[in-house]
Amino acid sequence: MQNRSGFIFGVTGILLLIFSIMLFTGCGKEEPPAAVKVGMLFPMSGALADKGKDSAAGVTLAVEEINAQGGIAALGGAKLELISGDTQGRPEAGEQETERLIKTGVAALIGTYQSSVTKPATQVAERLETPFIVSISIADVITERGFRYTFRIQPKARFYGRDQVRFLVDLGRLTGYVVKRVALLHENTDFGTAAALAQKQAMHEYGLELVAEISYAAEGVSDLSQEVAQCLAAKPDAILEVTYLNDSILIQKALVKAGAAIPLLDTAGGTVSPEYIQSLGALAEGTLTSAEFSKFTTGGKDLNGRFHKRFGVDITGDSAHAYQAAWVLKDALERAGSMDRKKLRAALAATDMPAGEHMILPAERLRFDAGGQNEFAQLFIVQIQNGEYIPVWPAEYAAGKVRLKP
Amino acid sequence: MQKKNPNPGDAVPWQRSLAVQLSWTSILITVATIAAVGLGLIWIARSAQRNSAFLVQEKSSEAMAQLISDYVINAVASLQLLEHIKNLDRLPPAGQKEALESIIIQNPSLFSQLTFLDLSGTETVKVSRFHTFLPGELGNVAAEPAFRTAFAGRLYVSPVFVSPDSGLLSLRIALPVRRSRITGVLTAEVNALELWRKVMQIRIGQSGYAYLVDKDGRFVAYQELSTVLQRFGEDMRRIPPVAEFILGAAGDKRRPHQYRGLTNESVVGTYAPIAGTDWAVIVEWPVQEALAGVRRMQWYLIALGALGMLVAGGCGFWISRRLVRPMRALTVTVQQMAAGDLSAELAEEERPDEAGVLARAFRRMQAELRMLYGNLEQQVRELRRTQETLRQSEEEQRQNAARLMRFQATLLELTEHAYSDLETALKRITEAAARALPVERVSVWLFNSDRSAILCQDLYLLNENRHEKSGTLFSSRYPRYFKALENSRCIAADEAHMDPRTSELSMDYLEPFNIFSLLDVPIRLQGRIVGVLCHEKIRDLVRWTIHDQDFAIAIVNLISLALESAERRKLEAQLIQSQKMEAIGTLAGGLAHDFNNMLAGLTGPVSILKYNLAVNQTLQPKELSRMLDMMDEAGARAVAMVRQLLSLSRRHEITLTTVDLNQTLKSVMKICMNTLDKSIELAPKPCDKKAWVMGDSTQMEQVLLNLCINAGHAMTLMRAKDEKQGGRLSVAIQVLPGGSHFHVAHPEAAQGDYVQLSVQDTGVGMDAKTVARIFDPFFTTKEQGQGTGLGLAVAYNIVKQHLGFIDVYSEPGCGTTVNVYLPAYQGAATEAGRPDENRLPHGSGLILVVDDEEIVREVARTILEKCGYEVLLAHDGQEGVELFARRHQEIRAVVLDMVMPRKSGKDAFIEMQKIDPDLKVLLASGFRLDERVESVLSMGVKDFIQKPYSMRQLVESLHRLLSEP
- Strand B870-874 versus strand A380-385 pairing type: unpaired
Residue A28's pLDDT band (boundaries 50, 70, 90)? Answer: very low
Residue B896 has pLDDT above 90, yes or no: no
User: Are the beta carbons of A215 and B104 separated by less than 8 Å?
Assistant: no
- C-alpha A105/C-alpha A110 separation (Å) is 14
The predicted pLDDT at position A41 comes to: 95
Per residue in B854-876, pLDDT tens?
Answer: 777 877 888 888 788 888 888 88
Using N-to-C axis directions, what is the helix angle for A115-127 and A91-103, rounded to 10°? Answer: 30
Nearest 5°: the CA angle A325, A328, A334 is 145
Residue A254: phi and psi, rounded to 5, are -60, -40
Q: Which residues contact B343 (CB under 8 A, 6 or more apart)?
A: B370
Q: Give yes or no for a contact between A131 and A151, defined as CB atoms under 8 angstroms apart.
A: yes
User: Starting from the edge strand earliest in sequence, which strands make up the sheet with B219-222, in order?
Assistant: B219-222, B209-213, B280-286, B266-273, B257-260
Q: Which of A211-225, B130-144, B795-809 has the highest mean pLDDT?
A: A211-225
The distance between the two most distant Cα atoms of chain B, rounded to a whole number of Å, is 209
Q: Which residue of B has its CA nearest to A122?
A: B167
Q: Would you identify the CATH topology of the domain A36-155+297-375?
A: Rossmann fold (3.40.50)
Give yes or no for A86 touching B (CB within 8 A). no
The DSSP output letter for B133 is -
Q: What is the pLDDT of residues A130-187, one digit of tens each?
A: 999 999 888 888 888 888 899 999 988 888 898 999 999 999 998 989 999 999 999 9
> Which ranges of B619-676 would DSSP assign to H, the alpha helix?
621-649, 661-675
On chain A, the residues whose CB falls within 8 A of the CB of B108 are 140, 144
Cβ distance of B130 and A122 shorter than 8 Å: no
Beta B156-157 vs A352-354: how paired, if at all?
A: unpaired
Highest mean pLDDT among A122-126, A373-377, B40-44, B299-303: A122-126
Best of B112, B113, B128, B132 to disrupt the A interface by mutation (most A CBs within 10 Å)? B132
Per CB-CB distance under 8 Å, the chain B contacts of A193 are: 128-132
Exposed/middle/buried for residue B582 (C-beta within 10 Å: 0-12, 13-18, 19+)? middle
- Residue B219's pLDDT is 80
Report the range out of A335-339, B263-267, B735-739 with the highest average pLDDT.
Answer: A335-339
Helices (H), B826-900: 854-866, 877-887
Residue B832, pLDDT above cutoff 70: no
**A158-291+381-397 and A36-155+297-375 share a CATH fold:** yes
Q: Report the top-level CATH class of A158-291+381-397.
A: alpha beta
Over residues B122-147, the pLDDT tens digits come to 998 899 888 888 888 888 888 888 89
> Which carries the bigger pLDDT value, residue B657 or residue A246?
A246
With a CB cutoff of 8 Å and minimum separation 6, the contacts of B729 are B672, B676, B680, B681, B682, B683, B708, B711, B712, B715, B759, B760, B761
A48-85: per-residue pLDDT in tens? Answer: 888 899 999 999 999 999 999 999 999 989 999 999 99
**What residues of chain A lie within 8 A of the CB of B101, using their CB?**
197, 200
Choice between B196 and B906, residue whose per-residue pLDDT is larger? B906
Whether the predicted pLDDT of B838 surpasses 60: no
Q: What is the mean pLDDT of chain A?
A: 88
Residue B128: its chain A contacts at CB < 8 A?
193
| Contact yes or no for A147 and B165 at CB 8 A | no
Answer yes or no: do B226 and A148 touch at CB < 8 A.
Answer: yes
Q: Nearest chain B residue to A216 by CA: give it.
A: B134
Determine, for residues A190 and B131 on separate chains, whether the beta-carbon distance falls below 8 Å.
yes
> CA-CA distances (angstroms) from residue B166 to A6, B123, B290, B352?
63, 20, 38, 100
DSSP 3-state of A210:
strand
- Residue A364 reports pLDDT greater than 70: yes
From A131's Cα to the closest Cα of chain B, the distance in A is: 12
B105/chain A closest Cα distance in angstroms = 6
Instruction: Report how far apart, in Å, the C-alpha atoms of B562 and of each of A227, B45, B419, B565, B652 are.
Output: 167, 115, 8, 5, 22
**What type of residue is B400?**
N
Asked if the Cβ–Cβ distance from A200 to B197 is below 8 Å, we say no
* C-beta neighbour count of B391 within 10 angstroms: 11
| Cα–Cα distance for residue pair B641/B198, rounded to 1 Å | 149
Contacts of residue B641, Cβ cutoff 8 Å, sequence gap at least 6 = B591, B594, B595, B598, B674
pLDDT over 80 (residue B303): yes
Q: What is the pLDDT of residue B829?
A: 45
User: How far is residue B776's CA from residue B117's CA, in Å, rounded to a whole number?
Assistant: 179
Q: How far apart are CA B274 and CA B220, in angstroms?
A: 13
The pLDDT of residue B346 is above 80:
no
Check A146 against B225: CB less than 8 A apart.
yes
Contacts of A197 in chain B (CB under 8 A): 101, 104-105, 129
Cα–Cα distance, B424 to B734 (Å, whole number): 37
pLDDT category at A286 given cuts 50, 70, 90 is very high
Which residue, among A210, A140, A185, has the nearest Cα to B128 in the 3D structure? A140
What average pLDDT is seen over chain B? 81
What is d(CA A296, CA A398) in angstroms, rounded to the nearest whole number? 9
Look at residue B786 and tell me whether its pLDDT is greater than 80. Answer: no
* Interchain proximity B130–A204, CB inside 8 Å: no
Contacts of A216 in chain B (CB under 8 A): 134
Whether the pLDDT of residue B647 is over 70: the answer is no
pLDDT at B624: 82
Specify the range with the lowest mean pLDDT, choosing from A211-215, A306-310, B494-498, B830-834. B830-834
Residues from chain B contacting residue A120 (CB–CB below 8 Å)? 167
A370 interfaces chain B, CB cutoff of 8 Å: no
Residue B89 DSSP class: G
Whole-angstrom Cα distance, residue B5 to residue B8?
6
What is residue B56's predicted lDDT score, i.e. its pLDDT?
76
Query: In chain A, what are the domain boundaries?
Result: 36-155+297-375, 158-291+381-397
Give me the mean pLDDT over the B337-352 stretch: 73
For A123, name the nearest residue in chain B, comparing CA atoms only.
B167
DSSP A259: T
pLDDT interval class at A366 (50, 70, 90): very high
What is the pLDDT at residue B930? Answer: 63
pLDDT computed for residue A26 by the predictor = 45
Count CA within 13 A, CB hemisphere, residue B287. 15
- Round to whole Å and give the CA distance between B205 and B228: 22
A267: which DSSP letter?
-
- pLDDT at residue B841 greater than cutoff 70: yes
Evaluate the omega torsion of the peptide bond into residue B948 and state whether it is cis, within 30 degrees of 0.
Answer: yes
* Residue of A93, A10, A101, A4 lying closest to A48 (CA atoms): A93
Q: Do A126 and B225 touch (CB under 8 A)?
A: yes
Q: Any idea what DSSP says for residue A286?
A: T
DSSP character for A362? Answer: S
Res B651: pLDDT = 56
Q: Are A143 and A152 in contact (CB under 8 A)?
A: yes
Across B138-147, B457-466, B561-570, least confident range: B561-570
Q: Which amino acid appears at position B497 of this protein?
A: H
Cβ neighbours for B151, distance < 8 A, ≥ 6 positions apart? B119, B121, B176, B182, B185
pLDDT, position B833: 43
Whether residue A193 and residue B131 make contact (CB cut-off 8 A), yes or no, is yes
Higher pLDDT pick, B931 / A175: A175
B951 touches B842 (CB < 8 A)? no
Give the span between the Cα atoms of B156 and B696, in whole angstroms.
150
For residue A200, give the nearest of B105, B134, B225 by CB distance.
Answer: B105
Q: Which of B36-45, B102-111, B246-255, B950-959 has the lowest mean pLDDT?
A: B246-255
Report the pLDDT value the prediction gives residue A2, as an integer from 0 to 100.
45
CA distance B130 to chain A (A): 4
Is the per-residue pLDDT at A19 higher than 60?
no
Is the pLDDT score of A327 beyond 90?
A: yes
pLDDT tens digits for B93-116?
A: 888 888 888 888 888 778 888 998
Contact check, Cβ <8 Å, B225/A148: yes
Which residues does residue B445 pair with via DSSP β-bridges, in sequence order? B456, B532
Name the pairing type of β-strands A238-242 and A352-354. Answer: unpaired
Q: With contact defined as beta carbons under 8 Å apart, do B139 and B147 qualify?
A: no
- Where does the pLDDT of residue B837 fall: very low under 50, low under 70, confident under 90, or very high at 90 and above? very low
- Of A179-183, A299-303, B390-394, B757-761, minimum mean pLDDT range: A299-303
> Which residues on adjacent β-strands are paired with residue B524?
B529
Whole-number Cα distances in Å, B964 to A116, A375, B844, B890: 122, 116, 15, 17
Backbone angles phi, psi at B290, to 5 degrees: -60, -40
| CB contact (8 A) between residue A197 and residue B134 | no
For B690-719, what is each residue's pLDDT tens digit?
A: 888 888 887 888 888 888 888 888 888 888
As a whole number, mean pLDDT of residues B255-284 equals 80
Out of B102, B128, B230, whose CB is closest to A127?
B230
Longest dimension (CA), chain A: 107
- Subunit contact B105:A196, Cβ cutoff 8 A: no
Residue A285 in 3-state DSSP?
Answer: coil
Q: What pLDDT shows up at residue B3?
A: 43
> Which chain B residues are closer than 8 Å to A204 by Cβ?
102, 105
Cβ <8 Å between B132 and A140 = no
Residue A27: pLDDT over 70: no
The span from the first CA to the last CA of chain B, in angstroms, equals: 66
Nearest to A197 among B129, B134, B197 (CB): B129
Count how many pairs of residues, chain A against chain B, have C-beta atoms within 8 Å.
78
Q: Which of residues 135-174 of A touch B (CB under 8 A)?
A: 139-141, 144-149
Give how far the C-alpha of residue B116 lies from the chain's centroid of Cα atoms, to the nearest Å: 113
